[in-house]
Amino acid sequence: MIKTKKIFIFSIIIFSFLSCSSLKPQKSINSNQDYRVDWFNYNYFFLEGIKQKVLGNYQEAINNYSSALKIDPTQAAVYYEIAGLLSLNKDFSGALEYARKAVEKDKSGNVYFKLLLAKTYKDNNQLANAAAVLEEILKVQPDDFLLYFELSKIYQELKKYSQAIRIMNLAEKKFGITDQISLEKERIYFFMGDKNKAVKEIERLAAAFPSNVNYKALLAETYVNNGMIDKAQKILNEIENETFEDGIVYLSIAEFYRLIGEYAQTMEFVRKAFESDDVELDIKVKLLISFLDVMSTDKEFIQEVKKLIEIISDMYPKEIKVRAVSADFYIMTRDYQKAQKELDYIVSVDKEKYDIWNQLINIDYYLNDLENMYRHSKEAVSLFPNLMEFYRFYIVSAYATKNYKDVVEAVDYVSSVPFYNQAIMMDFLHMQAEAYYKLGEYEKSDFVYEEILFRNSEDLSAINNYSYFLALRNNKIDRALELSQKLIEKEGTNPNYLDTRAYVLFRAKKYDEALKMIDEALLIEPDNKVFLEHKGDILYHLNQSKEALKYWQMARDKGGNSEILIKKIENGKFVE
């Protein structure tokens, strides 16, 4: 649609009339009482009503105005004030009663009283009465442009379309041909089912302003909407190279070309509309969303949409809605790094959108971007502490990025949540046990491993890690022997389990058994640098220092580069 100046329906402005007639009673109710007493009391209540209304105490204001009416029931302004307040309180029937009295008591023909009466008739769905009052007002206020539209609207609601046309013809006679009046008449004729007259109105508008390309474009759009494609084509051929003050016209032209199947020209004019500052951002965003809804694998169309994304991204770099629709586009086209960038900006500005956080963290996971996944998930759990789904990403990424303190704290928190997924909880406990070990809190690490084994005594991964960590510390070797034996009983061909058993036996000073076990592991993985180093350790303690040095060197050749391994090679002896 062609954008026109907005037509605002009139509203009644409630205000007080501080005239002498509203402050002074016409006569005393009590003939034996000095009228000045009545005047004082009336003045007090009326002004107090004004004060309470300004303060927003509407019922108090009504009470004071009512007291003023008891002193002088002839004051139209007081009825008007009460009617206005009742209307604000949505007491429409009460408002109508007082609005009628305001007009009845008024001797000056105050137009505001009548406007309020028309409004209250309308609020009470007495549209015919509202129209009658507005007709009266129009006779004394023929220069009120908006009044014609309000009256026309009421006649349209009454389905009295000929009366609505009559009113708009009066407006046109008074103000001349304008786009607001012509568009209103076109709309009325449309509801009347008179397509020809509807088109005629826009033709008259375009003819009245032959140099206005916007009106020509409006006429072309009208032709398109009414199936008059040839006429629309003729006009668009004349104006398609014009620069329009109203950028929305480009979208009308684009729609025409879409209807006749001219894809390239459709997108050309869509781009022009997107480049126009005059086209509202919301229109651009809604159009982009509609494109995303129908976007498939058509590479040409995808490139066109991408151009539109780039245009509005350059024009509105800080607009959240632009960033959001851009993110959707990049996700649909699998450009996840750009989507990540857009979503990262959104959460930096607006932190309360759970869906955006969820989308962003899942993209971090997909990209295996553990640093960003840790950063984003850590902030997400602080913002949404009761939403457990973020904790899985947080704990995993904290563990992967060696933020071990965060791991142990997060697992403690999750473990306090009843009915949490127990399979996932076991994974968390594994990470917590290892995190405690990395932090040097060995007793806590042991405690967690014992908790895991209490829950599942057949957890071979926990058995392997726990027994190996005990061996590394040369602590609780009897427990390590017990656990590592279970590994061999359950999976005696697993090279990692064989290595763990070998290292535990080494710590228990059972070197011959250890050598046999590490040889079995090396038969399966002969190039494993850890296994090679461990064999060197065992051989050294079997007094085979030259052979030990040989295996340490082999471990280094296979990529081993720990400080301890280097020292073993340099010194030619075992180093803890």
Q: What is the rounded CA–CA span in Å between residue 567 and residue 575?
A: 7
Q: What is the rounded CA–CA span in Å between residue 51 and residue 73?
A: 20
pLDDT over threshold 70, residue 34: no
Report domain extents, the chain: 6-141
pLDDT over threshold 50, residue 5: no
Residue with the larger pLDDT of the pair 250 and 181: 181
The predicted pLDDT at position 265 comes to 85
pLDDT over threshold 60, residue 26: no
The predicted pLDDT at position 23 comes to 47
pLDDT classification of 7: cutoffs 50, 70, 90:
very low
Q: What percentage of the chain reaches a pLDDT higher than 70?
A: 92
Distances from the Cα of 391 to the Cα of 60, 386, 397, angstroms: 55, 10, 10
The predicted pLDDT at position 19 comes to 35
Mean pLDDT of 70-81: 89
pLDDT over threshold 80, residue 518: yes
pLDDT over threshold 90, residue 230: no
Structure tokens at 153: 């609207």
pLDDT over threshold 50, residue 16: no
pLDDT over threshold 70, residue 419: no
Instruction: Write b or e for each residue in 566-575: b if 16 or more Cβ atoms lie within 10 A of its Cβ, otherwise e.
Output: eebbeeeebe
Burial of 413 (C-beta count, 10 Å sphere; 0-12/13-18/19+): middle
pLDDT over threshold 90, residue 529: yes
pLDDT classification of 416: cutoffs 50, 70, 90:
confident
Angle separating helix axes 161-175 and 179-192, nearest 10 degrees: 160
Q: What is the rounded CA–CA span in Å between residue 7 and residue 178?
A: 12
Mean pLDDT of 341-349: 96
pTM: 0.64
pLDDT classification of 231: cutoffs 50, 70, 90:
confident
Q: What is the rounded CA–CA span in Å between residue 56 and residue 265?
A: 57
* CATH number, domain 6-141: 1.25.40.10
Residue with tokens 């009208």: 222
